Amino acid sequence: MSGQQDTYQQLLPQLFRLEYTKMTAVLCRHFGLKHLAVAEDIASEAFLQATHTWAHKGIPENPTAWLYTVAKNKARDYLKHEQIFEQKVSPQLQANNQVSYPDFDFTEKQIADSQLAMIFAVCDPVNPPAAQIALALQILCGFSITTISHAFLSPAETIKKRLQRARSQLREQNFQVSNLTPEVLATRLPAVHTTLYLLFNEGYFSSGANQVIRQDLCGEALRLALILTTNERTDTPATKALIALFCYQSSRLEARLNDSGEQILFEQQDTSRWNQELIVKGHQYFIDACTGNELSRYHLEAGIAYWHTTVDNPDKWKHILSLYNELIIISYSPVTALNRTFAFAKVYGNKAGIEEALKLRLDNNSYYHSLLGYLYSDAIETAIYHYQKALALTNSEPEKHTIQKEINRLQGL
């Protein structure tokens, strides 16, 4: 029994991450965003029932189908007991000439359509862009308030209030998830792109204390981005560039960690562990992204990622620096500035790189001090000083371990 219990306790969190937001999206397609909390409660109750049932009766043959069946039954029970269908949903459906009882269909197509509609509904211009993205990260991607606060570099309490205001606005607007016009798709697509970009970045550079990479989040971002290609109005050059970026970056995930889960720096990675299938897929989407005149930040970042997947090209870092020079103009961020400085040092040498880095004055940034530690490799005491500063500024245990290894190496330990 203990082994069975361990199995379901490991399986449920994985299923929750994969299926909870899908379940909520389909339910909201029927209830509307005004009843978002109801949809979330029903989805949560399905997983709660699984916790109790699977502990005593074991894991069903098809756990995912079991969860969706329970959610469907709970949704129907809710409509029956609370009389929402007769009092609220039915008049609205009649107004739209849809009078049939809602069929909570959890097929793959229905889930994909609902998630596509859901993310565009959540990215409502009634809310500020930052609130749209935070809300989409929470509702569609299942992010906690803490994780979202890391993504925005904002206090958790600030994010909590932002989400409360945004949810209130959505309820008042009562936008119907099933009703997406071409105008809505066009105006909200940039916020959707940003949401998926942040989701992928959270996986690629996890803010969690115990994980430096969360491949599950990277995979989820890529999956959701691919859903955008199913609609001709969202299958844009920027969408394809974003997918290319995800493919290139994902191709190197396995090489970024050793067998002990320790981070491996780019220059030390075993290139034979790069996923060539994903690189080829990235090439395909990048070529398609460059067929028009559009140049987005995702085109530039995909170009940078492309050059990172190339091997033994003498002009590699010159191309990367050139792309960073363009990117920093249209989309500045401290991370972009630091990455550009690294590329600058690869082209012009560490001394010139140090001069560029010191101009940034990012004294409270752990990556800033890690970069200076790397660039001061010929001045051991100064390098150790900056690595120690980086060590004190990061909350990531894997990152601390990597930095400490560099300090030990410099100290000859």
CATH number at residue 354: 1.25.40.10
| Final residue in a domain of this structure, among 59, 87, 106 | 106
Q: Which pLDDT band, with edges at 50, 70 and 90, does 48 fall under?
A: very high
CA triple 126-129-134, angle to 5 deg: 105
Say if 326 falls within a structural domain: no
**C-alpha span between 377 and 409 (Å, rounded):** 11
**Residue that is last in its domain, among 215, 235, 255:** 235
- Which amino acid would we find at residue 356? E
Distance CA 39, CA 226 (A): 25
Query: Each residue of 157-168: pLDDT tens digit?
Result: 999 999 999 888
Judge whether 320 lies within some domain.
no
120 lies in a domain?
A: yes
My answer on whether 113 and 230 are in the same domain is: yes
Asked if the structure places residue 327 within a domain, the reply is no
Confidence (pLDDT) at 113: 80
Q: How many domains does the chain have?
A: 4
Examine residue 82 and state whether it is found in any structural domain, yes or no: yes
Same domain? For 75 and 133 the reply is no
Pair (212, 127) in one structural domain: yes
Q: Is residue 18 part of a domain?
A: yes
Looking at the structure, tell me whether residues 136 and 228 fall in a common domain. Answer: yes
pLDDT band at 386 (very low <50, low <70, confident <90, very high): very high
Contacts of 305 (CB under 8 A, 6+ apart): 244, 245, 248, 249, 282
Look at the pTM and tell me if it is higher than 0.95.
Answer: no
Amino acid at 246: F
Domain match, 181 and 268 both: no
Minimum mean pLDDT range among 150-154, 299-303, 374-378: 150-154
226 and 255, same domain (yes or no) = no
Handedness of CA 245, 251, 256, 259 (dihedral sign): positive
Q: Are residues 175 and 287 in the same domain?
A: no
Provide CB contacts within 8 A for 121, sequence distance 6+.
Answer: 28, 33, 170, 175, 176, 177, 180
In a domain? residue 91: yes
Based on the domain organization, do 112 and 13 belong to the same domain?
A: no
The arithmetic mean of pLDDT across residues 379-392, rounded, is 96
- Is the same domain home to 92 and 112? no
Question: For residue 196, what are its two tokens?
Answer: 């998926």
Token pair in block for residue 157: 């309490």
Domain shared by 200 and 228, yes or no: yes
Per-residue confidence band for 250, with pLDDT thresholds at 50, 70 and 90 = very high
Give the separation between CA 154 and CA 149, rounded to whole angstroms: 5
* pLDDT number for residue 1: 45
Note down the domain range covering 177: 107-235
Instruction: Provide the token pair at 133.
Output: 């993205």
Q: When comparing pLDDT for 167 and 80, which is higher?
A: 167
Residue 172 lies in a domain: yes
Quick one: 379 and 349 in the same domain? yes
Q: State residue 168's pLDDT score.
A: 87
Mean pLDDT of the chain: 85
Q: Which of 90, 106, 122 is the last residue of a domain?
A: 106
Identify whether residues 102 and 18 lie together within a single domain. yes
The alpha carbon of 410 is separated from its chain's Cα centroid by a whole number of angstroms, namely 35
Indicate if the pLDDT at residue 175 is higher than 70. Answer: no
